[in-house]
Amino acid sequence: MPEFATVPVSPLRISFDPATASVEPAGPVLTRRMSSLEGLFADQGEWKRAVEEDDPVVYTVSSSPVPEIDRELPQSITTIRPGACGGEFYMTKGHQHPNPQGEIYLGLTGVGGLLLFDGQRTEWIDMEPGVIGYIPPHWAHRSVNVGDEPYSFLAVYPGCAGHDYQWVLDHGMGARVLRAPSGYELVPYNSR
Ligand code: S6P
Ligand code: ZN
Identify the CATH assignment for 15-191 out of 2.60.120.10, 3.30.210.10, 1.10.3720.10, 3.90.380.10. 2.60.120.10
- Helix then strand then coil, in percent of the chain rounded to 5, is 10, 40, 50
What does the pLDDT look like over 141-185, one tens digit per residue? 999 999 999 999 999 999 999 999 999 999 999 999 999 999 999
8 Å CB contact between 176 and 185: no
| Gap from CA of 32 to ligand 2 centroid (Å) | 16
Contact indicator for 91, 145 with CB cutoff of 8 Å: yes
Terminal Cα distance for the chain, rounded: 57
**CA of 77, nearest ligand number:** 1
Give me the percent of the chain exceeding a pLDDT of 70.
95
Q: Which ligand is nearest to the CA of 138?
A: 2
pLDDT for residue 64 = 96
CA-nearest residue for atom 10, ligand 1, is: 61
Identity (one letter) of the amino acid at 187? Answer: V
- Which sequence spans correspond to the domains of the chain? 15-191
> Is the pLDDT reported for residue 7 higher than 70?
no
| Higher-pLDDT residue of 25, 7 | 25
Q: Quick one: which atom of ligand 1 is closest to the CA of 163?
A: 7
Q: So what's the pLDDT on residue 9?
A: 82
Distance 174 CA to ligand 1 centre (A): 18
Model pLDDT for residues 107-154, shown as the tens digit of each residue: 999 999 999 999 999 999 999 999 999 999 999 999 999 999 999 999
* Averaged pLDDT score across all residues of the chain: 95
Which of 163, 166, 168, 171, when mutated, tests ligand 1's pocket best, judged by the most ligand atoms within 8 Å of its CB?
A: 163
Q: Considering every ligand atom, which ligand is closest to the CA of 96? A: 2
- For residue 13, CA distances in Å to 108, 156, 190 come to 17, 15, 44
β-pair partners for 144: 91, 113
9 compared with 66, residue with greater pLDDT: 66
Pocket of ligand 1 contains residue 63 by CB under 6 Å? no
Atom of ligand 1 nearest to the CA of 157: 7
pLDDT at residue 192, rounded to an integer: 63
